[in-house]
Amino acid sequence: MGSFVELKKVSVLRDDKKILDDINLIIDSDENVAIVGPNGSGKSTFIKLMICKIYPSYTGNDTICRLFGRIKWNIRDLRSMLGIVTNELEYAFHSDITGLEAVLSGFFSSVGIADNCVITKEMMQKSNDIIELLDVSFLKDRKFETMSSGETKRFLIARALVNNPKVLVLDEPSNSLDITSSIKFHSMMRKITTSGTKIVLVTHLVSDIIPEMNRFIFFKKGKIFADGKRGEIFNSATLSSLFDIGVKLNENNGLCEINIA
Ligand SMILES: Nc1ncnc2c1ncn2[C@@H]1O[C@H](COP(=O)(O)OP(=O)(O)O)[C@@H](O)[C@H]1O
Ligand SMILES: [Mg+2]
């Protein structure tokens, strides 16, 4: 098992402002976690730390920033441990790539397939299996430019899953999805958690949260505002303080929503 991320006294400074301020946190690699906070609370910056894209601003003797027990990783070694899908990644892909090609590119950690890439039968089989699992086989030969945002996201998630990562990190996955697509997305995340990969979901929308998530980490103004089990902190009172507005949390058949109280 072991830890996925271990952070101690981690701060990130930009333009003389602490955008992450004294973060102390351990996430184990067998946890499904929801990281929730308002816009600008530091969630995406936290993801950049988690994927070694940025490093802590101060590295005193007591600062710890480890990923799967190690301080530095090269991206190729990391891909079998960690899958990541952000909105930035979606913009990085050319619109004329097909769904299947996008998924195959996960084996090479590239945003497309270079001419010198050798695609094995096993790679093809694995890609098709995951495309099937995520219910997008009917779209696999279509180009990204002809797909909706929800559809391209599914292929990017399939791309992240080809390397059997222990943990899949999703940053605001339902951004720009309509209600039907969000619900489909919800059941897809549930399927992934039962297939053996854990999900760390980062969102400002409680409607993204799935019942399998039992640990909640709330970010506010660059700090951890609350961290605990679902039953302890996922409630109307804590969410109202998190978002600075009175809200009521409703849970219905595994779907969550908040309304102004
Ligand atoms: N490279 C940067 N330079 C300056 N400010 C930044 C940079 N990256 C993020 N910020 C600021 O840090 C804060 C947190 O950003 P971010 O981590 O993207 O929040 P979230 O993902 O929760 O919306 C925001 O106020 C944002 O403007
Ligand atoms: Mg963000």
Measured in Å, residue 42 CA sits from the centre of ligand 1 at 6
- Sign of the CA dihedral running 38, 44, 50, 56: negative
91 φ, ψ (degrees, to nearest 5): -70, -25
CA 179 to chain CA centroid, nearest Å: 20
179 φ, ψ (degrees, to nearest 5): -60, -40
Q: What residues does the ion ligand 2 have nearby, CB within 5 Å?
A: 43-44
Q: Which of 232, 188, 233, 244 is nearest to 212 (CA)?
A: 188
Q: How far is CA 164 from CA 51, 91, 141, 168, 200, in A?
A: 16, 24, 23, 9, 15
Q: Which of 169, 141, 22 is nearest to 81 (CA)?
A: 169
d(CA 233, CA 23): 18
Ligand sitting nearest the alpha carbon of 54: 1
Q: 99 with 147: CB under 8 angstroms?
A: yes
Query: What pLDDT, on the 0 to 100 scale, is given for residue 1?
Result: 65
Q: Which CATH class is domain 30-51+75-260?
A: alpha beta
pTM here is 0.95
Query: What pLDDT, on the 0 to 100 scale, is given for residue 212?
Result: 97
pLDDT at 91 over 90: no
**Ligand 1 atom with the shortest distance to the CA of 48:** 17
Top mutation candidate among 12, 13, 14 for ligand 1, by most atoms within 8 Å of CB: 14
d(CA 128, CA 124): 6
pLDDT (tens digit, 9 = 90+) per residue, 114-149? 888 899 999 999 999 999 999 999 999 999 999 998
Structure tokens at 78: 């990391």
pLDDT (tens digit, 9 = 90+) per residue, 14-45? 999 999 999 999 999 999 999 999 999 999 99
Question: Which is it for strands 33-36 and 17-28: parallel, antiparallel or unpaired?
Answer: unpaired
